[in-house]
Structure 1
Amino acid sequence: MRVLLMNVPDANVGKTTDDWDIEATDIGVFPPMGILYLAGAIRALGRHEVKLVDCILDRLTPEQAAQRAKDYAPDVIGLTVYTPNLYDALMLTRSLRAALPKATIVWGGPHTMLFPAESMAQPEVDYLITGEAEETFPAFLDALEDGKPLDFIPGVWMRKGAEVVNTGAPGYVEDIDKLPFPAFDLVDFKRYFSAIGTGLPVGTICSSRGCPFHCTFCCKPYSTYRSRSVENILAEMELYHAQGIREFFFFDDLFNASAKRVKAIAESILAKNWKDVVWSFRGRVDAVDEDMLRLVKKAGCRQILFGVEDASDEGLKAINKKISVKQVFQAMRLCRKVGIMTSTNWIIGFPHHKTREDIVKLIDNAVAIDSDFAQFNICIVYQGTAMFDLAVEKKLFDPDIWRKHALNPIPNFVEPIWEEHLSRRELSELLKQCYRRFYFRPMSILRKVMRVRRLSELMLFARGAMTLLGIKGYARKKHVQGQESAAR
């Protein structure tokens, strides 16, 4: 069968602030790892033809995407759906159904695990494949083509007459080492970028899955942590390296869960004698030490992205982060000592942020911690989190707010936030202060300019400044021009 996998557009994603949301594309355009892994798994079995369309990368409307699909004439179309892009997913699905009335349309992704019945309430959706689908989706395709029952494939939701039924727990891959590598040749992967990268093409790698921690604001499908072997990771890096890729980003939720594993990866990179390779990863501040940092720096580690979230020990305890402010300062100090750049993530609008002064103190500490980059967000209260349960208990909003949206999605859905103490408007204004106070400091600007080594980096720097000033279109255009110049 001909299979088309699609990364859904993001033109109407949920809104957090009144007037100043930083869009996903303002911090980079990242490859759709889920469907790239899925494409690799389908193709590895050799039975079905697979194509991929990234609507975000190509800025496609639902109608344009449906026309591309029609040109390919697939038998099955698979969409990865996240709750924030639900409206776009539904509009794309309806356009696909109009253009290809005989195609089988399948939804997967985190939204379908949270809201399977609501997803199946959309008449244009034929099936759901919930959970990790690298094993279950190819089995589903085989059964569909052979006309066999689907009952023994985990995580499938389907209609039997007027009834919606499912085949049990979502799919789960125990041994992620055995998964084929993502099918990056199906997209123009050199067009993906990170706003805090070098501006050169990046090889994105997921070397592990899951997170064993339980932060109160985080909604995650799996708590079990599974990691790939060092040999498997290096084999994927070699494929990129052979195509001229010299920058890598480990996109794991938690890359440094094991210091031993991080050191083994660094030592293996050094053994390859890749003098021109640089890489970054996402990790925790309590899982770094000077010996590890010196080793990864020697192996080409350029930057570490730390999820800090709050700036007081009381706040960190309240969200169950299980780190301390002292550990944050220590991690930043060590990284600067060995020459590794840092980025920190912060969240405002937690339940314990009761006054403007609480958030001003967070900004003060973020500035004092002085990472090279920082990203700030207003806390969204997602269903499936401990924070959502507490908000419902306090009657801060309709307990069915997410379910109603799942049944009848609207464009730019105003996502629920914690407004017990500070309003959405107040948090929106404070979010602006966070960004502008952090980035518009003379020493911070000078440090970033002094690190610029190529035109592509300068274009990213300009893009970030324009975004913070609210001139997004100009910044995006300049980034594209910079990429084209770098390519030449």
Structure 2
Amino acid sequence: MEKIDLLLINPPFHQRSGSGSIFPLGLGYIISAAQKNGYICKVIDCTKIISSFFEEDLKKLKTELNKELKEYMPLLVGIGPCITTQIKALKIITDCCKDNFDIDRIFAGGPLASIDNQEWFFFEYLGLNNIIKGDGEEAIVEAICNLKSGRSITVSNKITTKENIYFNEIENIDSLAFPERVSLAENIISRRRCKEDSDKITASMITSRGCLYKCKYCVSGNMKYKNFRKRSVKSIVDEMVYLETKLYVDDIIFYDDCFFSDIKNVNKHIVDFCNELENQHAKVTWQMEIRPDILIQLRDESIQLIKKYGCRQINIGIEKTSSEGLRYIGKNNFLKGLSEAIEHIKKISNIIVAGTFILGGEDENISDIMKIIDDSKKMHLDYAHYNPLFIYPGTPIYNSYFEDERAWVDYIVSDTLPWGEIVFENQFVNRDKLLQLVDLAYKNFYADSKYKNSAMVADRFNMKKGKDNENL
């Protein structure tokens, strides 16, 4: 049995067909913060134990996790990042941890723990005493320090308990150590590309925390206390160069919801970023997420600059193709000129452009959804991703759909599907039909591509089997 300071448990999630597998950056930041202070960390990655929430896999999770837990004698145990879709697995993980360790040394964290008014889920449903809301780096280091000194982890108010709710927010995120990369060589951005890029090492990065926007379907912008914070250009490029020169990374995916988020100064920020890439001689390729309204503001010089300095793909959160649909999900009407802008970017730079779309919502009927699918095929996109409208606690759409802020747990626990997400239904389109339309969208968009027979197209949400073993 190995004595360690911090044992982190990464819960499993139901992977979609063709999707990638990258170790969570949040855990990487926690590990680096602890190691910076001389503490010893280990990780049990439950994504390597099971790949679905089918009953037989959940039984396997309990058996295998109990075996692995008995190998460690940790001072502190952390479960996360926790998200709503994992609740069947989270119940098993917390019960196993409570059977093996002192409950007062166990905490949970992540997006679900940070949602307002969802503390009950951890205290009542999971039976835990401690959670960490918001940024966890300082809170966890302080908790370990307290335990080493013979004190309780709740001596600091940075730990949320039934009696004390506290949201941690680190103002200067430049001060954080670069996240530890666990199993970097195993990272896969997309299984549909893994054969093409088999010789490349990919890493993920995050350059901001919080969100400037309040989309009605997304938790990020609807947390009461979370402010938007962006790392400096130098800090971002420093990490890119570190990944390239020290860890031999070839390619980076930025996981920020919008990498360049200041619509008024986007072109200046691109110049600043590319200048720093040049100054530090960075050679890695990279891809980013960006909002459509900001994409339209890019000048030709900016497009050519990002291409010159490594940008190989732009992912656009388009979501809807009608003003009514955009209003319902809380986005601005930024459709005018978008298709032309995409076509122009590809013409002058050859940058790959992908778009995401959300099917379903309010009074959206089958004809409305088919129009989104048809519109998406005319936007000059190289790739398109289609999601049914999912419902998450802590969002305005959840509050309009459920009267009780606890209702989501009963829904997921009693659901016969294994994936743990709540699909929006209305009087025109039920869940099963909406999932069929998602499949249809993929088949239509990729009908003439080399991906037309892939699992991503046939069954994007991996509903027809428990494990996604296809090497797309």
Scaled by the length of structure 1, what TM-score is found?
0.81
Question: Is the counterpart of residue 90 in structure 1 residue 91 in structure 2?
Answer: yes
Instruction: Give deviations 1:364-423, integer Å, cap 9, x for gaps.
Output: 10111131111111112222212222234xx7xx66412546999996546252323311
One-letter amino acid matched to 2:133: T
> Aligned equivalents of 1:381 and 1:292: distance in 2?
36
Residue 24 of structure 1 deviates from its aligned partner by 3.7
Cα gap change, 1:475 to 1:150, in 2 (>3 Å): closer
Deviation at residue 351 of structure 1 after TM alignment: 0.8
How many residue pairs were aligned? 438
**Matched residues in 2 for 1:58 and 1:261: separation?**
42
| 2:72 alignment partner in structure 1 | 72
Counterpart code for 1:365: D
Q: 1:63 to 1:26 in 2, by over 3 A?
A: farther
Give the drift of 1:152: 6.0
Question: SS state of the match for residue 356, structure 2?
Answer: strand
Structure 1 residue 194 corresponds to structure 2 residue 194 = no
Q: Which runs of 5+ in 1 are unaligned?
A: 12-22, 159-163, 450-460, 480-488
Unaligned runs of 5+ in 2: 52-60
Paired residue for 1:174? 171
Q: CA deviation at 1:147?
A: 3.1
Q: Distance in 1 between matches of 2:413 and 2:465?
A: 32
Give the match for residue 433 of structure 1. 440
Alignment of 1:97-136 (within 5 A): 97-100=98-101, 104-114=105-115, 115-122=118-125, 124-136=127-139
CA distance in 2, matches of 1:57, 1:201: 19
1:255 paired with 2:297, answer no
Tell me the residue number matched to 1:348: 359
**Higher share of residues assigned helix:** 1
Counterparts of 1:157 and 1:408 in 2: how far apart (Å)? 29
User: Which amino acid is the alignment partner of residue 184 of structure 2?
Assistant: F
Q: Please show how residues 288-437 of structure 1 align to structure 2 within 5 Å.
A: 288=295, 289=298, 290-337=300-347, 338-353=349-364, 355-392=365-402, 400-402=406-408, 404=410, 412-413=419-420, 415-437=422-444
Distance 1:351 1:272 in 2: 49
Structure 2: distance between partners of 1:42 and 1:367: 47
Is 1:267 aligned with 2:264?
no
Q: Deviations over 1:162-181 (max 9, x none)?
A: xx311x43111111100111
Q: How much identity, in percent, do the aligned residues show?
A: 24
The separation in 2 between residues aligned to 1:236 and 1:329, in whole angstroms, is: 34
Where does residue 40 of structure 1 map in the other structure? 32
Deviation per CA, 1:264-286, whole angstroms, max 9, x where unpaired? 222222334445x2110111122
Question: What is the TM-score with the length of structure 2 in the denominator?
Answer: 0.84
Give the alignment of 1:145-224 within 5 angstroms: 145-148=148-151, 153-158=156-161, 164-166=162-164, 168-184=165-181, 187-195=182-190, 198-199=197-198, 200-220=200-220, 221=223, 224=227
| Contact residue 91 and residue 126 of structure 2 kept, 8 A | no
Instruction: Name whichever of 237-246 and 262-271 sits farther off.
Output: 262-271
Distance 1:132 1:194 in 2: 25
Which 10-residue stretch deviates more, 324-333 or 131-140?
324-333
> Residue type matched to 1:176 in 2?
I
1:109-148 deviation line (CA, Å, top 9, x unaligned): 1222331122111465241111111111111221233233
Offset, 1:59: 4.0
Q: Is this contact kept in 1: 2:84–2:392, CA < 8 A?
A: no
Paired residue for 1:14? none
RMSD, aligned CA: 2.9
| Cα separation, 2, equivalents of 1:324 and 1:317 | 11
Deviation at 1:57, TM superposition (A): 4.4
Q: Deviations over 1:80-105 (max 9, x none)?
A: 11111121111122223334467822
